[in-house]
Structure 1
Amino acid sequence: MEANLRGVDTHGIVRLPLYYLKRIKKGLINTDPDYRVIKKSHSTAVVDADDGPGQVATLGAMELAMEMAKHSGIGLVTIKNSSHFGMAAYFAMKALEKDMIGIAMTHADSRVAPFGARKAYLGTNPLAIAIPAEKHFPIVLDMATSVTSMGSIILAAMEEREIPEGLAIDENGHATTDPKRVAALLPVGGPKGSGLAIIIDILCGILTESNFGNHIHRGDDFSKPEKLGHLVGAINVASFCDPAKFKHRVDQMISEIKSLPPAPGFDEILLPGEREFKTKEERLKKGIPIPQEFFEKLQRLEGCYLETD
């Protein structure tokens, strides 16, 4: 719901029947997991999610990271044996409540062609960083390392509309605007996004002793758990400088950037996350729009969600 409120509809309730409930029905998401901290130091920890919901495991890991950061200045927690955790910004933004900087990242199944390749190997591998501000909206970077998410392709296919050029390629490596012919997504910024995706896969896959690259169990393979890895972190601003002064100077930066003359074709300069905060304000007043077809699917799930096919 938080994803939908922020306008990140690709990671909202559209995934309920398509992913979460289907995997619960097939026993691929453990509804009674034994979440365990299997390794811990003053500022680091490893959490075993026991194939449970990724959101719950990662929220607990983020809370642990913030507790460690309160005493050690920084907390880093990896999560293994997890599942899709939804919107990365949700966990990074938790640190804002404590005047901390939050970090969240995850790898994902093979959907993205590395720069120069015509077949998928990397995941969309998102990264979120949340930085507290004083009076302005916090700065919240929440980005996939691919040009778009696989969820946006699924949504376009559901709505029977084309996707813009430059997002994806077909099985022959040619650009496609047909969401039903997408074989691989493209990395954002070419080699830069490809490089970031590789680093995130190492931090969330190899560092957590999980699978990586095209060894990750695919999300559309409903025969086995995904066994995903995530990494979250919290940086205690107070361990480095006065939090009030820090937030005031972040506000100064935001104001100075927003006061710059807009480039041709732009009415306003937006900071990372600003559009999402404004969307949330609007949707809290007016509601969340969803496609009629999907609304009817949700109605059919009511009261019998485990019967979805």
Structure 2
Amino acid sequence: MPIVTADRLTRIGVALLKAAGASDEEASAVANGCVAANLAGHDSHGVIAIPTYIDRIRCGHIVPGAKWEIVQESPTTAVIDGHWGFGFHVNAKAMALTIEKARSANLAACTVFRQSHVGRLATYPLMAAREGMIALATADSGRSPKHVAPFGGREARLGTNPIAIAVPSDLEAPFYLDMATSAVAAGKIQLAVARGESIPKGWIIDAEGRATTDPRDYRKGGALLPLGGSEGFKGSGLAAMVEVLCGLLTGLGFGVEPTGRHNDGCFMAVFNVAAFRPLADFRREVRDFAHYLKSTPPSEGSSGVFYPGELEYMREQQRRRDGIAIEDATWERFSALAAEFKLAAELDLA
């Protein structure tokens, strides 16, 4: 697999997306968001997705330059219609608006609908954490094709339905949670197929409801399993609640719409820490709490405790230094797109 610097990957992503019709602002939002996911070690949400986004532009499922519209608003809430624009771009603007509302009203929330894939969900709560606020975001895929079987079932009825929460602190690495309510993100199955790797038992079932370690079984009628293994009713229940917040509260609905158009619905809420206690005291205490968690002696076979977000930060430092490994299949798609757009020489992908 080629090893590529973050800056070069971003430049390639921006150029290919612009050639496919994205504006400078949209292409930058998507490419930077994808590369940030690679840097954090979440390759399933990284640049591997860019060719898929270009395919969706071509079939009309993503609309470059789509209008960003506030369809309902109060001092503390907003409902935003993305009109099928890039989720990275639409959702970031929605979070920025929610942060501004929370700055004046202390609490604010928004829903977003009719947008494409939003990428790594932590991106949006982290925007608020940098402004001294706590934020929560949840996302689902509306009536797009489903990926996750509810606990006890064999057919997909739920999305991977992630939850992300970020908190301001005095730590070097940001303190945040970003998790799917499925055993893994669907993109990790795609990544395993692209790399020719098997997957752990407990990630998916095949079309007959049997456990399998072959990621190709997923595309043959299989389904992801909910988070929790034998206690999967917990992940399944969390996923159902995310569906309510992001599918029903947004009006996207549930089930599967026949065209298969990807349609991320999001619910985001922001809380101004200063409305509850002095921000400096809170940031310091979050740092002390993280150090308290890490101070426990490690269990057998463990390298110790990492607070939420710490491992991603460590991976980012390493990958910024050493580069990012890109699957051969993804690199080949980049090369093919660059040739098609007559950018191969410019991007050194000939």
Is residue 47 from structure 1 mapped to residue 83 from structure 2 by the alignment?
A: no
Question: Which residue number in structure 2 is paired with residue 302 of structure 1?
Answer: 338
Alignment-mate amino acid for residue 192 of structure 1: K
Give the whole-Å Cα distance in 2 for the aligned partners of 1:194 and 1:271. Answer: 25
Measure, in 2, the Cα distance between the counterparts of 1:231 and 1:199.
11
RMSD (Å), alpha carbons: 1.6
Structure 2 partner of 1:37: 70
One-letter amino acid matched to 1:198: A
- Give CA-to-partner distance per residue, 1:18-54, whole Å, 9 cap, x none: x200000111101021110010111111000001111
Alignment-derived partner of residue 40 in structure 2: 6
Q: Deviations over 1:229-269 (max 9, x none)?
A: 11122111011110100011101110111001111111120
- Point out where structure 1 has 5 or more consecutive residues left out of the alignment: 218-222
Question: Structure 1 pair 57/164, CA: closer, same or farther in 2 (3 Å)?
Answer: same
- Pairs aligned (count): 300
* AA matched with 2:83: D
Q: How far did residue 225 of structure 1 move? A: 3.2
- d(CA) in 2 for partners of 1:303, 1:31: 22
Q: After the TM superposition, which residues 18-37 of structure 1 pair with which residues of structure 2 at under 5 Å, given as runs?
A: 19-37=52-70
Give the aligned residue type for 1:287: G
Q: 1:69 aligns with which of 72, 80, 102?
A: 102
Shift of 1:271: 1.1
* Partner SS, residue 305 of structure 2: coil
Query: In structure 2, do the counterparts of structure 1 residues 303 and 45 end up closer, same or farther at CA, with 3 Å as the change threshold?
Result: farther
Q: 1:187 maps to what in 2?
A: 226
Q: Secondary structure at the match of 2:84?
A: coil
Q: How many angstroms apart in 2 are the aligned matches of 1:191 and 1:179?
A: 23
| Pair 82,267 (structure 1): closer, same or farther in 2 beyond 3 Å | same
Question: What SS is found at the alignment partner of 2:134?
Answer: strand
Post-superposition Cα deviations, 1:155-200, rounded to whole Å, max 9, x if no partner, equal 1111111111011100110001111112100000101110000000
1:112 counterpart SS class: coil
Tell me the SS of whatever aligns to 1:91. helix
1:48/1:80 contact within 8 Å kept: yes
Please state if 1:215 is matched with 2:259: no
Distance 1:216 1:154 in 2: 22
What's 1:125 paired with? 161
CA contact (8 A) 2:293 2:305 kept: yes
2:321 paired with 1:285: yes
Structure 2 distance, partners of 1:255, 1:162, is: 36
Q: Is the 8 A contact 2:294 2:305 kept in 1?
A: yes
Note if 1:96 corresponds to 2:129. Answer: yes
Partners of 2:257 and 2:125 in 1: CA distance: 24
1:34-85 CA deviation, whole Å, 9 max, x = no partner? 1100101111110000011111110000001100100111111100111111
String of CA shifts for 1:127-147, please: whole Å, max 9, x gaps. Answer: 110111113422110000000
Task: Name the CA distance, whole Å, in 2 between partners of 1:155 and 1:171.
Answer: 20
Instruction: Say if 1:166 and 1:186, in contact at 8 Å, map to a contact too.
Output: yes
CA distance in 2 between partners of 1:287 and 1:145 (Å): 30
| In structure 1, C-alpha distance between the alignment counterparts of 2:83 and 2:334, rounded to whole Å | 28
**Counterpart-to-counterpart distance in 2, 1:188 and 1:121:** 14
Q: Percent identity?
A: 38
Residue from 144, 149, 169 that aligns with 2:205: 169
The SS at the match of 1:37 is: strand
Pair 1:144-2:211 in alignment: no
Query: Which residue does the alignment assign to 1:220?
Result: none
Judging changes above 3 Å, is the alpha-carbon distance between structure 1 residues 188 and 305 closer, same or farther for their aligned structure 2 residues? farther
2:273 and 2:97 map into 1 onto residues whose CA distance is 17
Query: Deviation of residue 293 (structure 1)?
Result: 3.0
* More displaced stretch, 106-115 vs 170-179: 106-115
Query: In the alignment, is residue 15 of structure 1 matched against residue 57 of structure 2?
Result: no
TM-score, normalising length: structure 2: 0.83
Among candidates 277, 281, 300, match of residue 245 of structure 1: 281
Kindly indicate whether residue 240 of structure 2 is the aligned counterpart of residue 206 of structure 1. Answer: no
Secondary structure of the residue that 1:14 maps to in structure 2?
helix
Q: 1:187 to 1:129 in 2, by over 3 A?
A: same
Paired residue secondary structure (1:51): strand
Whole-angstrom distance in 1 between the partners of 2:227 and 2:245: 19
Q: Which AA in structure 2 matches 1:125?
A: N
Flag structure 2 segments of 5+ consecutive residues without an equivalent. 1-34, 343-350
One-letter amino acid of the counterpart of residue 51, structure 1: W
